[in-house]
Each structure stands twice: as C-alpha cells, then as structure tokens.
Amino acid sequence: MSPFGRNSQNAALLAKANKSATPPPSSPSSSSHKQPPSTPKGSKSSNLGNGSGNGSGNRSISLSSRSSPAPSNRQMSPATPGPSSSMYDATGLLSRDFETTYHRQCRTLLLAFVAAARMWEEMATFDGLKWAKEAVDGWEDVHAANKLGQREAGTTRQARGPASATASRAQDKRRALELDPRQAHDPILGPGGLRESRLADAVSRIEAAHDGLTTVMERLNKALTKLTTASDSLRSLLEEAAQRKGLEFVFQDPMWATWPLERFVERTSELASQYRISTQHLQLLVPTLIRSGEPPASSSSRPSDEATQRRSKQRRSAYESWITLPYLETRGSQSLLGFEAICEVEVGRWKE
C-alpha cells in the first residue's frame, strides 16, 4: 500500500469516530465536504490541525504533532572548567581523597621533625638547666666550705708570732691529747667537721651534675639525629617529586593551602641548622660548668681568691648562656612554635 493510501485510511477512521460522537449535519450539502479518498500528507495534517472541515471542528489531535514532538525547554548547564569544590574540605585545605603519596609522606616527615625538635627543647630547657644549675651551686658550696675556719686560723697564726709550723703542730697535738676524746678535733676544721661534711655534699652535687649533663647531651644528640634525618628525607622527597611530578609541583603548586613543598623543606632545613649549632654550643659549656679550672691538689700553690672568683663568674656566664640559648630562635615565626602554628593552617589533618 502506498503512503497516500495509508494516510487516507487513517483519515477515514478518524472521520468515522467523529461522526459517531457528534450528530450528523442538517444540510444535505455537507456530503460535498467529504474528505477525498487520497490527499497529500502535508495538506491533510494542516486541515486536521486547523479544523477547516465541518466534521473535524472539535478535533485537537494532529498527525504532525504525533510524528514530531515539541522540543523540551530544559536547558543543560555546560560543565565549568577548573578544580571541583569537592577537592577541599570544610577548612579550605586539600581533601584527603585528592592527596598524593607526596602529601602523605610530607606530613609524616613534618610530624617527625616537630616531635624531635620539641624533645630537644624540652631536654635542654628542663633537664639541662636543672643539672647546669646544680653544677654551679655545687662549686659555690665548695668555695664556701673552703672558707670555713680561715678567719679563725689567720687569727691564731698572728697570736703565735714567729713560731715554726712544726712547733705549732706539736703544740696543737698536745692540747688535743689533753682534751676529752670527743673534743680532740676541731668541730669545723677537724676530721668529720662542718667543712668536711659540706665539702662532701658539694662534691656529690657536682658528680651528680656531671652524670646528669652527660645524659642530657646524649639525648640532645639523639633528638638532633632524628630531626636532621627528617629534614634530609624531606629534601630527598622534593628531589623525587621534582623528577616525577615536575618543577611546578614542588616550587609553585600549593600542597594543602598556600605553601608548596619547597617552603616546608627550606624551613625545616633552617631549623635543623639552629639545633645543630645549639647542640655544639651546649657541648662546649659542659666542661666550664663541671671542671674546677684550678690547679691539681698535688700542686703546692693554692688558687687565689681572684682566680676562684674568675672561675665562678665563668660558670655563672655559662649557665646564663644555657638559659638564653643564643643560637636557637625560641619565639617568632622562625622558631619551632612559629613553624607549628604555620603547619596547623597549612597542612591538612595536622592534628589527626
């Protein structure tokens, strides 16, 4: 069957359905308006759509509307280029899902560096200062104990006049034998006297300070090794990332917020240099705090008061230098506290 015959058949079925639904026209001339048996598809669809025939005035369905539906008014928004907002978490830092291996390794090494640096500062500030002060006080007690009885001894020598030292010792021995055994020795200068007991206590404090400072320096060197290893590993990570990810990734692209990898590496390297110099400086202060700086006991010459005061001043200066740590920044952006504050806002999941 040709397309024109199929269309005429469809039109006849539609007309028959409309006649059964509406009453027939009263005028006999309505037969002259019957649809021709075959009409072109375009004219038939226009007549049905416009309602030009008498029998099709109430129809609202057209074949053309069935064959070609109206286009949808829905507009599709084009995809916007650039990073998606889901790349960043609620704090504005790079989301965990978008972190690379270099992000995770960098955060791990930064945490290790900060932990070792904090251990170094705590050891130097608390235990180091404790034993340094103990050494200074121990030597002060030694000098104070040596001064006990000196004034009385000087007065006795002036009263005796030009008598020889041998005669004086013999006379003291006779007097001691005449006394009660409990009073045979001077309670201050004699064996077991006040000066001897104070000297023993002072020497014990100095020995304890020596052992304490030795332990402190060992722990400081261990902490220095850990933070230096973390700093060197960060630099190796930068070199590897530059080879695999490109120079822009390590020098320009921010890791989590604004700092690229290169800035973290440089800051840890600067801090590691401060701790290295400070460790060497404290190592030089230990002998000044522990040693007497006086001639050996076998030497015939005794140290003068000026030499004793000079050594005491040097110990006090070493102790004050230990307090200030002149080669280590303890405040500001260049210090460990400043670097930790930066990591809290620049490193994603720093406290996790």
Q: What is the pLDDT of residues 268-289, one digit of tens each?
A: 999 999 999 999 999 999 999 9
Regarding whether 312 and 267 lie in a shared domain, the answer is yes
The average pLDDT across 231-241 equals 97
Cα separation, 5 vs 177, in Å, equals 158
Regarding whether 158 and 108 lie in a shared domain, the answer is no
In a domain, 178, yes or no: yes
| Residue 107 in tokens | 């955060």
Cα separation, 248 vs 81, in Å, equals 20
pTM to 2 decimal places = 0.65
305 neighbors 275 (Cβ within 8 angstroms): no
What is the CB-side half-sphere exposure of residue 64 using CA atoms within 13 A? 11
Residue 224: predicted pLDDT: 98
In a domain, 26, yes or no: no
Residue 176: predicted pLDDT: 56
Residue 30: predicted pLDDT: 41
Judge whether residue 27 has pLDDT over 50: no
Regarding whether 196 and 176 lie in a shared domain, the answer is no
Higher pLDDT, 320 or 33: 320
Residues 6+ away with beta carbon under 8 Å from 346: 255, 256, 257, 258, 259
Cα separation, 159 vs 122, in Å, equals 57
Domain boundary among 139, 159, 187: 187
282 neighbors 315 (Cβ within 8 angstroms): no
Judge whether residue 188 has pLDDT over 70: no
Residue 200: predicted pLDDT: 87
Regarding whether 131 and 273 lie in a shared domain, the answer is yes
Judge whether residue 264 has pLDDT over 70: yes
Regarding whether 222 and 102 lie in a shared domain, the answer is yes
Regarding whether 219 and 269 lie in a shared domain, the answer is yes
Judge whether residue 334 has pLDDT over 80: yes
Regarding whether 259 and 220 lie in a shared domain, the answer is yes
Domain boundary among 169, 187, 205: 187
Judge whether residue 339 has pLDDT over 70: yes
Residues 6+ away with beta carbon under 8 Å from 211: none
Higher pLDDT, 299 or 134: 134
Instruction: Give 221-226's long-range contacts (Cβ < 8 A, gap of 24+).
Output: 221/279, 223/116, 223/117, 223/119, 223/120, 223/123, 223/275, 224/116, 224/120, 224/275, 224/276, 224/279, 226/112, 226/115, 226/116, 226/119
57 neighbors 22 (Cβ within 8 angstroms): no
Q: How far is CA 6 from CA 2, 38, 69, 338, in A?
A: 6, 9, 21, 88
Regarding whether 201 and 139 lie in a shared domain, the answer is yes
Regarding whether 180 and 135 lie in a shared domain, the answer is no
The average pLDDT across 74-92 equals 59
From 100-109, 214-223, 292-301, 336-345, the region with the lowest mean pLDDT: 292-301
From 61-65, 219-223, 326-330, the region with the lowest mean pLDDT: 61-65
Regarding whether 275 and 307 lie in a shared domain, the answer is yes
Which residue range(s) make up the domain with 180?
150-187
Q: How many distinct structural domains can be found in the chain?
A: 2
Regarding whether 174 and 258 lie in a shared domain, the answer is no
Residue-wise pLDDT for 47-77, tens only, equals: 434 444 444 444 444 444 444 444 444 444 4
Regarding whether 234 and 132 lie in a shared domain, the answer is yes
**pLDDT > 70: percent of the chain:** 60
